[in-house]
Structure formats: C-alpha cells, structure tokens
Structure 1
Amino acid sequence: LQSHGVAAGAVLDQKDASEDPQYTARAMFEEAFQEDLGTYSYPRAPFKMSRSPVKIDRGPVRLGEDNEYVYKTLLKLSDADYDRLVESGHIGMDYAPHVK
C-alpha cells in the first residue's frame, strides 16, 4: 500500500508495538504499578506536548479503590455518613452479586 502512496502501517499488538523501533524512539509506553498486576507497561497518549508532558502516575484503579477519597474529600461527606453508606451496602468495593 505504501508503495502506491497509501498511508498505511502494520497493525501491532502491544508486545510488538513495545518492541517497535519507532514506538521505542517516541517513548510510547510507560511503566506503572498496579497492585494486582505489579509493574506493567501502559501505552502513553499518542501526542506530545512540550510545555505540559503527559505522565502516567499510576496504573488503573480497582473498582471502589478511590471511594473514600471521592466521598470524603471531594463530596465532603462526614466520616459517620460515609461509614453508614458503606455498612448499608450503598458504597462498596465489589460488584453487586447479580453482576458477577
């Protein structure tokens, strides 16, 4: 295709992409820690910004991992109200039984 002027390239899986010289030169993957997987290589944003570089601070969060921070810090819920919602099952760290 390229020899006929069509912009094209191979479709690569993550392993092949992480070993590709162009992706390596562009630093397209970054390692981050995820508690249940350990250190893992994640794809970066496909664009570069010189004055505000994109950085992966951590791997994906698990379901409910940030509940306490969101409810207490961002939504200003009191400790007592948060605890009551957790105890009553309205806030949890797992999927509902019917979803599993």
Structure 2
Amino acid sequence: MDRWDELLEAINIEHNCFAKGWPRKDAVIKVGEELPLLYITKADGAEACHLEMIKLMGGTGFEVFVEYHSLYGDVSSVLESTRVKSKTVEELYRALSGK
C-alpha cells in the first residue's frame, strides 16, 4: 500500500515535491528492471523542491524495506535509506535547517 504522503509529512518533508510509485500486489517485474518508488518531481516551478531533497538526504530520512518473491518461490529483500553519506549534503542540510 502506498503511504508516501503520510511518511513524508511525518518527517516534515513536502510530499508534493515528489512523484511516488509502489508496485501493485502480485505485480510482475522483469529481472534487472528498476521500479522507482520515490523521486523528485519534474513539474514546472519545482525549484524549491531541491531544498526538500536536501532535507530528505541530509536529515533524519527513513529506510525502506522491500521483500519480493520470484515466480519460483525464492524470497529476496532489499533495505535502502534516503540518507546520503556526503559532507556536502550534510553541510547543506545544516545550513538550511540551522542545526
């Protein structure tokens, strides 16, 4: 179930700055295919959204755990974080947030 708006609001990130996706139950995804779950919007006037991206990558952020099953019954999972280990991002975040 797609709960991106609720999650982004809980960590004080403007949810309208992001396009969201989530696979439907029993969706089939080709091997090697990537399904974007959350990405910055490409809408006109989205310049302010770059600040939201810095907040997402440099602030508290969150982790996403996805478990999926192959047609053969194999179970795989992946855990990813929105946080980026970068001095530049950390400095930008501190400058924007005053922390």
Question: What TM-score bracket applies, with the shorter chain setting the length?
Answer: under 0.3
TM-score normalised per structure 1: 0.25
Please say which structure displays the higher CA radius of gyration: 1
Question: Which structure is higher in strand share?
Answer: 2
